[in-house]
Amino acid sequence: METINTTLLIIGGGPGGYVAGIRAGQLNVPTVLVEGASPGGTCLNIGCIPSKALIHAAEEFCKARSYAAETSPLGITSSEPRIDLERTVAWKDGIVKKLTGGVGALLKKNGVKLVNGWATILDGKTVEVRQEGELEASVRIRCEHMLLAAGSLPVELPFMPFGGPVISSTEALSPDAVPQRLVVVGAGYIGLELGTAYRKLGSQVTVVEAADRILPAYDADLVKPVAAALGRLGVELRLGTSVLGMDGNNVRVRDASGVEALLEADRVLVAVGRKPRTTGWGLENLMLDMIGPAIKVDDQCRTSMRNVWAIGDLAGEPMLAHRAMAQGEMVAEIVSGKRRHFAPAAIPAVCFTDPEIVVVGMSPMEADKAGVEIVTANFPFSANGRAMTIESTDGFVRVVARKSDHRIIGWQAVGGAVSELAAGFTQSIELGAQLEDIAGTIHAHPTLGEAVQEAALRALGHALHI
Ligand code: FAD
Ligand code: NAD
C-alpha cells in the first residue's frame, strides 16, 4: 500500500474542502485532498450549479411557450416551441464539467495533491483510501491536521425510500423525460426551486408541505409574492399535509383535518432536508462531540479533537456553499499559522424561486425577539422603473436598522433577479453601514438597486419615489 505523509489532509472536495485546498496551497502548506466522487462536491455536481442551469432552461422554455400562446404583453409571438431535454441536460452537464475541471486545475496549480477515492478514518491522523469499485484500500495517508469536509446527503423518508419513481434532487437534475405528473414533498429550497422549474418545463406539479405555509423558514411577507406566482403558474400547494407513503405509483397523503387522499404521480421528488454525512467512513472512530446530527465546532471550526477540523454541511446549518467556502478558507489560514475566527456579521441566503428571495442579517421579527429597537421600511418594486422594464414588479426591498444609531442589521428582498442584490446587502452590514450611508450613495438609474437606496431613504422618512 502506498503511504503519503502531509501537513493538511482534507476529506471531501466540495466548496468547503476545495477552497481550503486552494488557500492552503497558496500558503505553501503541504496538502492532500481526498475526493471519492468528483471535485466540486454537491454544489458543483448535483446542487447549486446544475439546479440554477435547469431553472434557467425552464424559464426560457416557459417564456417561449408564452410567446407561442400569444400572451406576451411585449407583443412577441413565435411558433410552438419544443424542448430537447437530452440537449438541455448535456448543456447543464457541460457547465458542471467546465467548473469541476476548473477546480481540479486550481488545486493542481496551487500544488495540492488530489487523491481520487473514498477515505476511511483510522484515527485522528490517519486515513486509508479505497478507489471507487475496489474492496481494499490502496493508499494510506498520515497528516498533522485533518479537515473533515464530507458534506451532506438528502434525508430519506423511511416509508418512501429513494428508488423507482421516488427521487432526490440528484435524479431530478438529470431527467430523461419531463414527467407528466410530479409530486414534490417539501416546500423548502429544493422543493420550490425545482418544483417551479418542472412546472415551467410542462409537468403538472403538486407540492406537499407539512407546515402550514411554503418556505416556513422565511418570514410570511417575503413568501407571499412567491406563493402568488406559484398559483399563477398552476402549481398545486397542499399545505399542512403529511405524506404517508406510496400506494402503487400514487402518493398517499393526509391533511390537517385527517382526510386522506391519493395523488397520482409519475415521479415523486422528496426534498425534506439534508443531513450531515457522518456515517460510513470511520468518523465514529474519532468520537467527536456532536450538536444534533452535525459535528460540533468552535468559532475556528475546531472539533473536540486536537488538529481535527470540520467545515461546511458536515458542521451543520446554514448548509450553504458560500458558508462552507468561507470556513474552508479560514481553516487553511489558521493551519498556516494565521490568527482567524469565523465571525461574519451576516451570511446571505438566496432562494432561487420565481420571484427570488434574499435575506441577510435580521428580519424585523428576529430583531424584535432579540430585544433590539429598530426602524424598518419597505420599498416596492412596483415603484421602480427597472423592475417594470423587466416585467417583475411584484416584491420589495426591506431594510432593518437599529433605532439608536441607524446601523443596518438586516436586509430582505423578494423580486425578479434580486439574488444579485445580496452582495451589496451583505457588504453594507459587514462594513457597519448606517441608513444615511445607503441613502447618500448614488445608485445607478435605472436599476433594482435604486429600491435599496429608496428603502433606506424611506426608513429615514423621506423616500423620493413613493
Ligand atoms: P459537499 O459539497 O457536499 O462536498 C462534500 C464532498 O465530500 C463530496 O464531493 C463527497 O463526494 C465527498 N466525500 C464525502 N465523504 C467522503 C469520503 N469518505 N472520502 C472522500 N470524499 C468524500 N447552496 C447554496 O449556497 N446555494 C445554492 O443555490 C444551493 N443550491 C443547492 C441545490 C441543491 C439541489 C442542493 C442539493 C444543494 C444546494 N446548496 C446550495 C447547498 C450546497 O450544495 C452545500 O451547502 C455545499 O455543497 C456544501 O459544501 P461542503 O463542501 O460542505 O460539502
Ligand atoms: P429545506 O429544509 O429547505 O426544506 C424542507 C421542507 O420540507 C420544509 O419546508 C419542511 O417543513 C418540509 N418537510 C419536512 N418533512 C416533511 C414531510 N415528511 N412531509 C412534508 N414536508 C416535509 O430542505 P431542502 O429543500 O431539502 O434543502 C436542503 C438544504 O439544501 C437547504 O436547507 C439548504 O441548506 C440547501 N439548499 C440551498 C439552496 C439555496 O441556497 N438556494 C437551494 C437548495 C438547497
Domain of 19, CATH number, reads: 3.50.50.60
Ligand 2 atom at minimal distance to the Cα of residue 191 = 25
Residue 92 has pLDDT above 90, yes or no: yes
Give the model confidence (pLDDT) of 161-175 as tens digits.
999 999 999 999 999
What is the structure's pLDDT at 213? Answer: 96
Contact present, 35 and 100 (Cβ < 8 Å): no
Q: Is residue 158 part of a domain?
A: no
Q: Distance between CA atoms of 126 and 145, rounded to whole angstroms?
A: 10
Q: Is residue 20 part of a domain?
A: yes
Mean pLDDT across the chain: 97
Nearest ligand, measured from the Cα of 322: 1
Same domain, 438 and 401: yes
Give the model confidence (pLDDT) of 426-448 as tens digits.
999 999 999 999 999 999 999 99
Residue 422 has pLDDT above 90, yes or no: yes
Q: Is residue 318 part of a domain?
A: yes
**Which residues form the domain of 187?**
166-272
How many Cβ atoms from other residues are within 10 Å of residue 436's Cβ? 13
Same domain, 16 and 136: yes
Q: What is the mean pLDDT of residues 144-153?
A: 98
Residue 113 has pLDDT above 90, yes or no: yes
Same domain, 142 and 281: yes
Same domain, 417 and 441: yes
Quick check: is 406 catalytic?
no
Predicted TM-score (pTM) of this structure: 0.98
Q: Is residue 111 part of a domain?
A: yes
Q: Is residue 264 part of a domain?
A: yes
What is the structure's pLDDT at 179? Answer: 98
Same domain, 255 and 238: yes
Q: Is residue 84 part of a domain?
A: no
Residue nearest atom 53 in ligand 1 by C-alpha distance: 151
Q: Which residues contact 439 (CB under 8 A, 6 or more apart)?
A: 453, 456, 457, 460
How much distance in Å is there from the Cα of 272 to the middle of ligand 2?
A: 5
DSSP string covering 373-415: -EEEEEEEGGG-HHHHHTT--S-EEEEEEETTT-BEEEEEEEE
How much distance in Å is there from the Cα of 154 to the middle of ligand 2?
A: 9
Q: Pick the residue with more confidence: 1 or 123?
A: 123
Residue 135 C-alpha cell reads as 474492496
Residue at a domain's end among 335, 362, 382: 335
The β-bridge partners of 243 are 253
Q: Distance between CA atoms of 69 and 440, rounded to whole angstroms?
A: 45
What is the structure's pLDDT at 71? Answer: 86
Give the model confidence (pLDDT) of 96-107 as tens digits.
999 999 999 999
Q: Are strands 260-264 and 250-254 parallel, antiparallel or unpaired?
A: antiparallel
**191 ligand 1 Cβ < 6 A:** no
Contact present, 286 and 304 (Cβ < 8 Å): no
Residue given cell 399542512 in the structure block: 240
Residue at a domain's end among 229, 254, 272: 272
Same domain, 445 and 405: yes
Q: What is the mean pLDDT of residues 348-367?
A: 98
What is the structure's pLDDT at 41? Answer: 98
Same domain, 322 and 202: no
Same domain, 175 and 114: no
Residue nearest atom 30 in ligand 1 by C-alpha distance: 48
Residue 450 has pLDDT above 90, yes or no: yes
Same domain, 268 and 279: no
**211 ligand 1 Cβ < 6 A:** no
Residue at a domain's end among 283, 301, 335: 335
Same domain, 19 and 136: yes
Question: Domain total for the chain?
Answer: 3
How much distance in Å is there from the Cα of 461 to the middle of ligand 2?
A: 38
Give the model confidence (pLDDT) of 185-213 as tens digits.
999 999 999 999 999 999 999 999 999 99
What is the structure's pLDDT at 233? Answer: 98
- What residue type is assigned to position 297 of the chain? V
Residue nearest atom 33 in ligand 1 by C-alpha distance: 47
Residue 228 has pLDDT above 90, yes or no: yes
**What's the CATH number where 444 sits?**
3.30.390.30
Same domain, 23 and 137: yes
Of the candidate ranges 60-74, 159-173, 294-308, 311-325, the one whose mean pLDDT is the lowest: 60-74
Q: Is residue 235 part of a domain?
A: yes
Q: Which residues contact 112 (CB under 8 A, 6 or more apart)?
A: 21, 22, 24, 25, 31, 32, 33
Q: Is residue 464 part of a domain?
A: no
What is the structure's pLDDT at 328? Answer: 99
Residue given cell 468559532 in the structure block: 299
Residue 133 has pLDDT above 90, yes or no: no
Contact present, 51 and 193 (Cβ < 8 Å): yes
Contact present, 464 and 457 (Cβ < 8 Å): yes
Residue given cell 406539479 in the structure block: 205
Same domain, 130 and 29: yes
